[in-house]
């Protein structure tokens, strides 16, 4: 199966081909490089992996098309999409977001900074709230230009996955 992945800061998506070989073994081709992988699923979304003879413990957390990957103490956010999803995204790219938009926590964490207050005018893509999750700070951005009409986030508080943070109208 072919996927396309893009890490934060990357401009172009990288093709990733995943071929199951049986007995928890896979052939994974990332761009032009191919790896032999032996993967064993452990508890709580963790995989024990042998990649070309090197051992890794990898933790995953899914949030829609985004995948949080904890490897060697570092979290990477990777956007993952198959060819069908890429076509759907391209078709929807011409549409803009309208009406009230609720910004929610992408995963459980702690609100470390609130960047706006009720009544603030914001631009599309402007930072609204910073949430720390999996030892990484994530700046959540406005999905549209508009006005902050409600603010649920409070600095220093813990939030659950999909907790209401900010309403932009």
Confidence of residue 99 (pLDDT cuts 50, 70, 90): confident
**119 CB contacts (<8 Å, ≥6 apart)?**
147, 148
* Topology (CATH level 3) of domain 2-88: Glycoprotein, Type 4 Pilin (3.30.700)
Confidence of residue 64 (pLDDT cuts 50, 70, 90): confident
Q: Are 48 and 42 in contact (CB under 8 A)?
A: yes
Query: What was the pLDDT predicted at 96?
Result: 59
Q: What DSSP character marks residue 105?
A: -
Domain layout of the chain by residue ranges: 2-88, 101-168
Confidence of residue 94 (pLDDT cuts 50, 70, 90): low
Q: Say whether pLDDT at 95 is over 70.
A: no
Q: What is the value of pTM for the model shown?
A: 0.50
Confidence of residue 68 (pLDDT cuts 50, 70, 90): confident
Query: What was the pLDDT predicted at 155?
Result: 95
CATH 2.40.50.100 fits 101-168, yes or no: yes
DSSP assignment of 40-71 equals EE-GGGEEEEEETTEEEEEEEEEETTEEEEEE
**pLDDT (tens digit, 9 = 90+) per residue, 6-24?**
887 778 888 999 999 999 9
Query: What was the pLDDT predicted at 152?
Result: 95
Confidence of residue 92 (pLDDT cuts 50, 70, 90): low
Query: What was the pLDDT predicted at 129?
Result: 95
Query: What was the pLDDT predicted at 12?
Result: 83
């Amino acid at each position: 199966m072919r996927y396309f992945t893009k890490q934060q800061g990357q401009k172009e998506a990288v093709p990733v081909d995943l071929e199951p070989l049986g007995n928890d073994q896979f052939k994974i081709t990332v761009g032009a490089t191919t790896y032999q992988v032996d993967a064993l699923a452990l508890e709580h979304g963790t995989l024990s992996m042998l990649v070309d003879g090197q051992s890794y413990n990898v933790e995953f957390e899914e949030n829609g098309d985004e995948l949080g990957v904890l490897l060697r103490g570092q979290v990477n956010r990777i956007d993952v999409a198959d060819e069908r999803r890429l076509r759907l995204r391209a078709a929807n790219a011409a549409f803009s977001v309208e009406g009230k938009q609720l910004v929610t926590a992408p995963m459980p964490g702690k609100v470390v900074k609130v960047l706006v207050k009720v009544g603030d005018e914001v631009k599309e893509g402007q930072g609204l709230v910073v949430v720390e999750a999996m030892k990484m700070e994530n700046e959540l951005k406005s999905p549209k230009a508009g006005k902050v009409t409600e603010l649920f986030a409070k600095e220093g508080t813990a939030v659950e996955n999909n907790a209401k943070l900010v309403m932009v109208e």
